[in-house]
Amino acid sequence: MRLMVLLFCLCSAAFAQTPVLPQPAAPQAAPAPLPPAPEFPVKSTILVDYITGQVLAGQNPDERAEPASITKVMAAYVVFTELGAGRLTLDEKVRISQNAWERGLGGSRMFAKVGSEVSVEELLLGVIVQSGNDATVALAEHIAGSEEAFAAMMNAQAKRLGLTGTHFTNAPGLPNEEHYSTARDIAMLARAMIADFPQYYAWYSMREFTFNGIRQYNRNALLGRDDTVDGIKTGHTQSAGYCLLSSAKRGDARLIAVVLGSASEEARAQQSQALLNYGFRFFETHRLYLAGQALSQVQLWKGELEQLDVGLAEPLDLVVPRASYDRLEASMDLPRYLVAPLAKGQVVGKLRVKLDGKDLAERDLLLLEEAVEGGWWSRTYDGFWLWFEDDA
């Protein structure tokens, strides 16, 4: 058997393999040109697929910009993290300081009274629905002792999430030269927040919240206008302009849109709607391979097995322009053989997917099983034949 395998290897010089792509359930329509993404007179935009993180459209997505109250998404992320770690509870009471009350003056506020005690849950709703500066600062002081220390926690989370274009100096998102982010980073934060804290995400779709006898409405105009939109956060200062981080789910697909520096509330809503409609209309998601699915086999020497299965650690989903699936090309770069022992999960190659010759995705190929060394005779026998293999 080993001799037959050796003769096969000697006759083959190809290391790249072509895995079979699964066929769509429905026949593909005739391909049509992908129209250009909508563009607007704003500072920056981005449209991202939630599942894959693929960027579908964008203007200056890495340009530094003032995030305004979109900052509160990171503030809430830090609070959610504390809740998840058991260092905070939703019914825990927070005393409203004079500083927190003053920070709410002249901007969005929850109207929490100085000296009153408000639950963490109510304050979070004040942050998420009412965009309350006072609620955000109150939570920051309660968790970290000061707003400055809380901003340091926000920056630590930004670093952990890979938000390389982001830095915070305050919790509510008030203007500061050293307080900035990018459309790309904001979209990445939104993906993390939805994935890490789905139990709280529904609060971002609430259209109103009443506290202290005062009813306030969510400033996200897309809520109610488009039933598929379920968040996320508005922002506005004179220097930042009108900003909107939005997300919508249609069927199994979810998209995230960011618009920074728009001219008005209505403009940011229309621009965000246009981006979302473009993504849902002209793109589709396909699952190419499952996690742990055997995509190929590699010859093993000096082991108990003669071949090892290789595959992916995670499912591979891709978003492509509609009617372009049949133009995808997949290939694998794998060694001609491996030598035991090897651990399960060890990276041994690459899977690449291209569309019309352009790279679309690259993933590590892993061993799906352990390569245990064979006995003395097997190792000696294979070692002898490997002399010929290495000369091939």
Catalytic residues: 69, 72, 131
**Whether the Cβ atoms of residue 197 and residue 84 lie closer than 8 Å to each other:** yes
Distances (CA, A) of 27 to 23, 133, 322, 324: 9, 52, 12, 11
- Which tokens hold the place of 153? 């926690």
Distance, CA of 244 to CA of 260 (rounded, Å):
7
Cross-strand partners of 143:
none
CA–CA distance, 34 with 54 (Å, rounded to integer): 16
| 192-229: b (≥16 Cβ within 10 Å) or e | bbbeebeebbebbbbeebebeeeebebbbbbbeebeeb
The Cα–Cα gap between 155 and 169 comes to 9
Distances (CA, A) of 231 to 26, 46, 258, 269, 310: 32, 16, 11, 12, 40
DSSP state letter for 81: H
CA dihedral angle for residue 162, residue 319, residue 76, residue 212, rounded to 10 degrees: 160
Report the Cα–Cα distance between both ends of the chain, in Å, rounded: 18
Residue 55 contacts residue 46 (beta carbons within 8 Å)? yes
In angstroms, the CA 315 to CA 313 distance is: 7
Secondary structure letter of residue 340 according to DSSP = S
Helical H runs in 93-146? 98-103, 120-128, 133-144
Longest alpha-carbon distance in the chain: 85
Can the peptide bond before residue 341 be classed as cis, meaning omega within 30 degrees of 0?
yes
DSSP 304-326: SSSEEEEE-SS-EEEEEETT-GG
| Polymer length in residues for the chain | 392
| Cα 30–chain centre separation | 31
Q: Are 50 and 215 in contact (CB under 8 A)?
A: no
What does the block give as tokens for 361?
A: 């995705």
- Position 241: which residue type? G
